[in-house]
Amino acid sequence: MPPGNHLNAEQIWDYLIQDGEKISLSTVYRSLKLMTRMGILRELEFAEGHKKYELNVESAIHHHIVCIVCNQTIEFEDNLVIKQSLKQVQESGFKLVDCQLILHSICPEAVEMGWPASLPENWLCSRCVKSSVINQTIHKPIKKIKLRIEFKGERVALYVPDELNQSETFRTNAKSITGWRYCRNDFGWYYPLDKAVEALNHLFSLYDTEPELENIIALIEQQRVEVCMGISN
């Protein structure tokens, strides 16, 4: 991962699923706890209240500045912090295992946008958006995803496999399309006809689908034309 990027359990599970691994989320949680106790990983408590993880490299002990609005994270090193921590631990007769300083802050873009009054809940700064794009480019796409669509009047219902539907990343992306609805009865994502193609391109651009994505988009475009013709008549 690029410097400053850290993953929580669900994001790690999402990466593994996209790599074609058959693994449960509970197994990921147990493995992360074990690897933390073994000293392989560092467990970090960031502003959003979720535990995140990074490789524990003793030669590069560092600290973090975290924006409490967009969760942007910047790493920095400070030997004075480590020296003071060692001094305090040694005076108490303890052994230092880890040293973490997390500075909760507000990034410059959030301040410029008028924090806290005028920021929407799902706002991200440009640095986070760029980081998200980088993360997506290193994902390995699932070779085939079974994608089913149904036309529900002037809406399109999208149905995906359970393991993808349970992914936090997928659900966040699915909710970023205007007009979305999620039906708990049939577990389908419902989008207006004029947003369905955008949703498909946004959610499945990294995947091969069954049937092919181009065929699904063509069906939606055809349905949109028929609906528009019906309205005009």
CATH number at 22 reads 3.30.1490.190
Model pTM? Answer: 0.47
CB atoms within 10 A of CB 58: 7
- Average pLDDT of the chain to the nearest whole number: 79
pLDDT at site 94: 92
- 18 with 112, same domain: the answer is yes
- 92 with 163, same domain: the answer is no
Rounded mean pLDDT, 9-38: 86
d(CA 200, CA 185) in angstroms, rounded, equals 21
- 61 with 118, same domain: the answer is yes
Residue 181 DSSP label: E
- 152 with 189, same domain: the answer is yes
Q: Which tens digits make up the pLDDT trace of 93-127?
A: 998 877 888 888 888 888 887 777 766 666 666 66
- 104 with 175, same domain: the answer is no
Report if residue 185 sits inside a domain.
yes
Q: Both tokens of residue 32?
A: 């992360």
Domains in the chain, number: 2
Helix, strand and coil percent figures for the chain, each rounded to 5: 45, 20, 35
Residue 143 backbone phi and psi in degrees, to 5 = -65, -40
pLDDT-derived band at 134 (thresholds 50, 70, 90) equals: very low
The single residue listed with the structure tokens 């009054």 is 117
Would you mind telling me the total number of residues written for the chain in this entry? 233
pLDDT at site 1: 57
Residue (of 117, 114, 126, 83) closest to 101 by Cα position? 83
Strands 145-146 and 209-210: parallel
**Residue 48 is part of which domain span?**
9-137
Report if residue 3 sits inside a domain.
no
pLDDT at site 42: 85
- 25 with 121, same domain: the answer is yes
